[in-house]
Chains A and B, each alone.
Chain A
Amino acid sequence: MGALANSFYNAIVKRNSVYVTTIFTGAFAFGVGFDTAITSFWDTWNKGKQWKDIRAKYVEAADS
């Protein structure tokens, strides 16, 4: 635990430029990941209710 904390401190925190850059990069990655996770959760939760799920039925019906 102590070794992990020390390596974390030495690698990231020691230089403020690296620390801030890491925070911003992490914020970007977090935003992308959060969006993806929430969207996939939404699609799972509303499976079969969204237009993209039921489009095939109606478009085929229109063609035939």
Chain B
Amino acid sequence: MAAIQLAKKAVNLPPTCRTLASGVPAASYVNLNVRDTAGHGHGHGHGVGPRSDAPARWAGGVSASSSAGLVSKSFANVPSTGVFQKRLIHSTVPAKIEPQVPDFSHYEAKSESTNRGVAYMMIGGMGLLSASVAKSTVTEFLATMAASADVLAMAKIEVELATIPEGKNVILKWRGKPVFIRHRTQDEIQEARQTPWKTLRDPQRDEDRTKKPEWLVMLGVCTHLGCVPIGEAGDFGGWFCPCHGSHYDISGRIRKGPAPTNLEVPVHDFDEVNNLLVIG
């Protein structure tokens, strides 16, 4: 740590004065009287030569100035006024006369309307992206609940229609249940279509139960208590349930017995190109 150094500098201070009651400044030990210097060269009774009491040049003297007239100077060394006190440490924050406000004009918007438009554009764009992200999140989350592709593939069966001759039944297993496929003859189709369906227990047209009239696809589960009906049996030339005696016609509609509804038709489709029936 640097030692405190006492710097010395010589200054010239004006002499301390006080004011007399008469308004005349009075300075002790300072001679303000203008006195004639020695040897001014005119005889009026005193001798020629420097006066013995004339002050030396270094102590001041009188000189004539063109601007200020007659000037009397006394050079004096006087102590400085007051108590000279060194402040070695101070921790006060310098008080600011006025708060320092930076110049913000550089940051201000050039055009108020452009600024507003850009701001709303940004807000809208953010909202647009957020809405997309939210929608995508919900959709993807719901998609995880859906069956995967391999499960969906296992949930379908394909039947080659060429292997089923006309007038024959085929029973397949689909999702753990039997499925009846009947390749109906023209007589059976006519019989199924001409039946007065409006008076049946579960009124349904044959056209609504089949996609192609010659192919009848049904779940082989009796709607009464879930037995498997027997094909080509019963009073109506269709199916007959041996458990409680429900009779279904050639369109799978309930005609007689305890079953409340027709045999269910599963979702199925025909692949025309490969002559396939796709169930599921």
Could you tell me which A residues sit within 8 Å of B by CB distance? 1-2, 4-6, 8-9, 12-13, 19-20, 22-24, 26-27, 30-31, 34
Contact = CB atoms under 8 A, between A and B. Distances in A.
Contact of A31 (B113, B120, B121, B136): B136
Nearest to B111: A2
B71 to A, nearest CB: 73
Contacts of A4: 117
Contact of B128 (A1, A2, A26): A26
Interface of B: 111, 113-114, 116-118, 120-121, 124, 127-129, 131-132, 135-136
B135 A2 contact: no
A5 B113 contact: yes
B176 to A, nearest CB: 31
Nearest to B139: A31
A27 B131 contact: yes
Nearest to A8: B117
Contacts of A9: 113, 116-117, 120
User: What 3 A-B pairs come out closest when comparing CB atoms?
Assistant: A5-B117, A27-B131, A23-B127
Contacts of B124: 12-13, 19, 22-23, 26
A2 B132 contact: no
Contacts of A30: 128-129, 132
Nearest to A27: B131
| Chain A at the B interface: SS class | helix
A25 to B, nearest CB: 9
Contacts of A1: 111, 114
Nearest to B124: A23
A6 B113 contact: yes
A19 to B, nearest CB: 7
A8 B132 CA distance: 22
B149 to A, nearest CB: 14
Nearest to A5: B117
Given A2-B113, A2-B114, A31-B136, A8 B131 contact: no
Nearest to B133: A27
B139 to A, nearest CB: 9
A2 B109 CA distance: 12
Nearest to A7: B117
B229 to A, nearest CB: 40
B125 to A, nearest CB: 9
A30 B128 CA distance: 8
A4 B129 CA distance: 23
Contacts of A6: 113, 117
Contact of A24 (B114, B116, B131): B131
Contact of B132 (A13, A22, A27): A27
Contacts of A26: 124, 128
25 contacts: A1-B114, A2-B111, A2-B113, A5-B116, A5-B118, A6-B117, A8-B117, A8-B120, A8-B121, A9-B116, A9-B117, A9-B120, A12-B124, A13-B120, A20-B127, A22-B124, A23-B124, A23-B127, A26-B124, A27-B127, A27-B128, A27-B129, A27-B132, A31-B132, A31-B136
A47 to B, nearest CB: 24
Contacts of A34: 132
